[in-house]
Amino acid sequence: MRELLADAARRLTEAGVESPRVDAELLLASVLGVTRGRLLTLVTVPDDVAVRFGTLVDQRADRVPLQHLTGRAPFRFLELAVGPGVFVPRPETEQLTGWALERLAGTDGPIVVDLGSGSGAIALSIAHEHPGARVTAVDVSADALALARENAARTGLAVELLEHDAREGLPGGPYDLVVSNPPYVEPEDLPALMPDVREYEPHVALVGRGATEAVVRAAQDALRPGGWLVVEVGDGQAGAAAALLGGLGYADVTSTEDLTGRDRVVEGRRA
């Protein structure tokens, strides 16, 4: 076992994978159908497992995202199904969801919309962690909505799913909270992204010139007075996004740092 993992980690290091040892352990754990913690108590693996693991390590070395290979992504208290064609939820978005939940604290039965919902990570987490919230997950991608539907069924959580383009405003409302992790990569920044992201995440989930502005404008019309917009932004975009909210008349505009000290969440409430 130790040798197998060490070889795989070496292979993934050479391929430029960011967290080679952890990825190797998670891949082997997924083949064996055990947790990573349990994996480390095992000493040997059957030959057929070693062969299947080798195939996955080859694919990971080709920079196929880890979560596409395991088919799962943990997100806050949930374990979500993920796969090609739909954005893999990220740790920084777990934090965004936490801020959104704080804005809902003390509100009974809030009406919430997750704009650009992808796998349903934010919408389902809000439904899970704020019982009674009425949550709508909106996405322009039919593939994303199909996966969000699968995740709603997996988790037993109820959210409304809606195929809709945010550039046409927001149906329904008035909302107590609009939360969004929109596509915020500028096209010229695509080549600098890791191949796992650049080549495997759907373009519509990454690149969206003006997507943040579309979300901010759509939310302004759909929020109730005093309702909150909580939106994730790219590194270096918080100042412009906060200025946009301020310029449109949002009140109490703030930006918040992620765990690495970069401003990644911008919030404001409809005046």
Ligand X SMILES: C[S@@+](CC[C@H](N)C(=O)[O-])C[C@H]1O[C@@H](n2cnc3c(N)ncnc32)[C@H](O)[C@@H]1O
Catalytic positions, written as ranges = 87, 181-182
The pair of three-digit structure tokens given for residue 8, joined into one six-digit string: 């795989």
CA dihedral (217, 264, 241, 213) positive or negative: negative
Q: Which amino acid is at 38?
A: R
Choice from 122, 161, 229, 253 touching ligand X (CB under 6 A): 122
Alpha-carbon torsion, ordered 201, 164, 258, 102, to 10 deg:
-150
State yes or no: residue 253 binds ligand X (CB under 6 A): no
State yes or no: residue 67 binds ligand X (CB under 6 A): no
State yes or no: residue 118 binds ligand X (CB under 6 A): yes
Site for ligand X in 127-186 (CB under 6 A): 138-141, 144, 165-167, 181-183
Site for ligand X in 69-108 (CB under 6 A): 87, 89, 93
Kindly determine how many residues on this chain lie close enough to bind ligand X according to the rule CB under 6 A: 24
Compute the distance between CA of residue 268 and CA of residue 246 in angstroms, rounded to an integer: 8
Q: How far is the CB of 116 from ligand X (least distance, A)?
A: 3
Compute the distance between CA of residue 86 and CA of residue 201 in angstroms, rounded to an integer: 7
State yes or no: residue 116 binds ligand X (CB under 6 A): yes
The pair of three-digit structure tokens given for residue 270, joined into one six-digit string: 């409809």
59: phi then psi, degrees, rounded to nearest 5: -65, -40
Query: Where do contacts with ligand X occur on this chain (CB under 6 A)?
Result: 87, 89, 93, 116-119, 121-122, 138-141, 144, 165-167, 181-183, 204-205, 208, 211
